Amino acid sequence: MKLIIAVVQDQDSHHLLNSLTEHNFRVTKLATTGGFLRSGNTTFMIGTEDIRVEKALELIKQNCESREQMVAPVSPMGGNADSYVPYPIEVEVGGATVFVVPVEKFHQF
């Protein structure tokens, strides 16, 4: 058995949740916040049999696309912020960060 932990952008979470449940995956959805852009993410925890891991990864890949987005940088910590002029920069967001970890035991009560 494996535990899949997938961190996805909020924008992709609804489609991914629907796709996973349509394919009979049990999913726990958590609201999380990213550290780099300080934007909302959704973390999915999916427990599944080893033979279904590839299908889950395929669904995550299909529903979580990368995209370019303009963001204003966060002001620097310390120093004089009066002279800091934040110019928007283009960064790649979206996609998914996925961890697949073995599960030693599983209990459902």
Which domains does the chain show, CATH number per domain?
2-73+87-102 (3.30.70.120)
Q: 98 and 6 in contact (C-beta within 8 Å)?
A: yes
Give pLDDT tens digits for 39-84: 678 999 999 999 999 999 999 999 988 766 666 666 555 555 555 5
Residue showing tokens 């966060």: 74
The mean pLDDT of the chain is 83
Q: How large is the greatest C-alpha to C-alpha distance in the chain, in angstroms?
A: 58
38 or 95: which carries more pLDDT confidence?
Answer: 95
Q: Is the pTM of this model over 0.85?
A: no
Torsion of CA 57, 58, 60, 62, to 10 degrees: 160
**Rounded distance between C-alpha atoms, residue 49 and residue 2, angstroms:** 6
Distance CA 37, CA 71 (A): 8
